[in-house]
Chains A and B, each alone.
Chain A
């Protein structure tokens, strides 16, 4: 089976940097993804790491360490519109097309 752990809530100040951690346990690993979901909206894909290291996409970066079964999403120059829930997800070995999602981290950006 799989399990993913991420903090339930994080609060950060506008303009600051915030890191959302994700640790996982899975019998097989194909990659770690991050999705963003605004209140009332659909989850949307943000980032994907299949190999160790940092992937950067504008203000957002994602990091993976396969040896530590750990990843994080880094949001820089926080804006109010970044207030949302962020989910990490692993590709499932049992059905390699599937994703197993964490329970999400609610990020609140304050002025």
Chain B
């Protein structure tokens, strides 16, 4: 079974702090994604990566950056956290191979609160 893990389930930070959210997948997937999920807005794509050291902006990249130094690990960085970044953050991975390409496997999520 694919396993995607995220470093924290709950996180509380203060405005202006630098925040790191870590995601690790164990299935050698080439694609990894970061979403935020807010009530009524569904899943919105922040950044994604097709390969090591590659990154692409999603729909809402402002205020975020990412890092992918190893294939299994994708980090989301909030350079200076703000209260409007309080949200649930979900990481996912996928592969172009397999019977249903690009099926995404999600981690359990990190609920971030910025005070």
Chain A interface residues (CB < 8 Å from chain B): 8, 33, 35, 41-45, 48, 87, 91, 95-104
Contact = CB atoms under 8 A, between A and B. Distances in A.
A41 B106 CA distance: 10
A103 B38 CA distance: 10
A101 B103 contact: no
Contacts, number: 50
Interface of B: 4, 31, 33, 40-43, 45, 48, 50, 56, 58, 90, 92, 94, 96, 100, 102-109
A88 to B, nearest CB: 10
B1 to A, nearest CB: 11
A103 B42 contact: yes
A104 B48 contact: no
Given A91-B102, A95-B56, A101-B42, A42 B48 contact: no
Contacts of B102: 91, 96-99
